Amino acid sequence: MTAERFIIDDREKNLFRVNREAFTSEDVLQRERREIFGKTWLYVGHESEIPGKNDFQTRDVGGRPVIFNRDRHGDVRVLLNTCLHRGSSVCRHSSGNAKIFTCFYHGWAYRNSGELVNVPGNEDYKSEPAAVYKGLQSPPQVDSYRGLYFVNFDPDAPDLLTFLGEARYFIDLAADQSPEGVAILEGTHKYSLKANWKLLVENSIDGYHAKSVHHTYFEMMMELGATPPMLGQDTVNGVAPAGMGTEFPNGHATLMYPANGLPLATDSVKQTLAGLRSQAEQAFGENYANAMFGLARNSVFFPSLILIDLSFGLTLRTFYPVSASETLVTGWQIIPKGVDEEFVKYRIDNALTFWGPAGLATPDDVEALEQAQKGFGARGEVGWSDVSKGMGKPVPAANDELQMRSWWREWNRRITGEQLPTEGTSFVPFDKQGVDA
């Protein structure tokens, strides 16, 4: 496919297409591993997941096993989870508390700050191992924003704040929802799908599919007398025309739409949310609080960090390719600190019944994406996917596809070196004093 283009971006015809080889080629996947997952900022975890000294979480990040931990001094670290001796994992648990990580294979031991401290049979080495092998390695760059920790395996990549740019505003809108901050709830959703990882990127910021794919959920909510999210008056396929899509540099993008209440929430839950909104108004101004609690948001931070911020739940999701046709997904729920148990239970219930692997939304999405991957078997005859909806509009709606095109242009730049211009849309955020920034 080297002689062909991956992207058709025709501004005269308002036509945007993606070559389906991008979803099926193992050669493309290898380039992605090198040029994207090896050179961009990747999410590792939130500081609330390791609250105490010696706490740790193990993760796979961009194909690398890592330990996300606080060392014995309380400093946050990210260590590559591979023994310097013969490569085995030095930590085989998903989470816990440990001062020392010991390789199960031959017993080499490391402090949780990385230093090699014990080698069984050390006297048999003519060179002292602790002098030759300084300790567990860390990615060249580790940084955080609002409690979210990221790594970059490219020492020459721009810093995290530069990479996030203006899109970090949508992280702020999540992080500012309580005066005490936010935390990741204990528990993780892990599941896989037999589809290319980029299909899940598209799906996560796609307002066009909501009513058709998730009709069972919408019907159930309406039968129970609740207003489903994204379904109010004057909607088009489940998304209000008042919503909009946005594009940012570096492939980040967001779709926004009016938040239509709290399905099946008790009065207590509604009062808690109203209290959080009132506190935000006092701290940051009415406009910023309206953006925080009056707009629902699906954001992607390139390449595969998704933040879905709805009134009934706040989901953080990341995913990486296993192969060109399989993806491993990990998801967490974020909760404002200081809320009561009933509010937490409400959010957990929604996390399970809507976003969970056996919920009302995720299986629908998985089926849609796996059907798309299956359809790519006919790519020799039908070789291109269309991502043109809303192209040429002055203000693309939330159920248009600007946000996907923004992401694809960055993907294309990193894979081919071709720099395609943005569509020139602008987003003016509200600052934290309630004044248009």
Q: What is the pLDDT along the chain (437 residues), one digit of tens a residue?
A: 444 689 999 999 999 999 999 999 999 999 999 999 999 999 999 999 999 999 999 999 999 999 999 999 999 999 999 999 999 999 999 999 999 999 999 999 999 999 999 999 999 999 988 888 889 999 999 999 999 999 999 999 999 999 999 999 999 999 999 999 999 999 999 999 999 999 999 999 998 777 777 667 777 766 766 665 555 444 444 444 458 899 999 999 999 988 866 888 999 999 999 999 999 999 999 999 999 998 899 999 999 999 999 888 999 999 999 999 999 999 999 999 999 999 999 999 999 988 889 888 898 999 999 999 999 999 999 999 999 999 999 889 888 999 999 999 999 999 999 999 999 887 777 777 643 43
All domains of the chain in start order, with CATH: 42-145 (2.102.10.10), 166-416 (3.90.380.10)
Q: To the nearest 10°, the Cα dihedral for 146, 150, 154, 157?
A: -20
CB distance 263 to 228 below 8 Å:
yes
How crowded is residue 15: how many other Cβ atoms within 10 Å of its Cβ? 15
Instruction: Indicate the pTM of the whole model.
Output: 0.93
Tokens 């330990």 -> residue: 67
Q: What is the pLDDT of residue 210?
A: 73
Q: What is the pLDDT of residue 225?
A: 66
Q: Which amino acid is at 67?
A: I
Q: Which residues, other chains included, contact 103 with Cβ-Cβ below 8 Å and sequence gap of 6+?
A: 83, 85, 88, 89, 90, 109
CB distance 304 to 318 below 8 Å:
yes
- Cα dihedral sign, 266-269-275-281: negative
CA 66 to chain centre: 17
Q: What is the pLDDT of residue 236?
A: 41
Q: What is the pLDDT of residue 262?
A: 81
- Rounded CA-CA distance 33/63 in Å is 8
- Rounded CA-CA distance 60/69 in Å is 14
Q: What is the pLDDT of residue 385?
A: 97
- Rounded CA-CA distance 286/292 in Å is 10
DSSP 156: T
CB distance 213 to 391 below 8 Å:
no
Tokens 């989870």 -> residue: 81
- Rounded CA-CA distance 14/22 in Å is 21
Q: To the nearest 10°, the Cα dihedral for 353, 355, 358, 363?
A: 130
Q: What is the pLDDT of residue 137?
A: 96
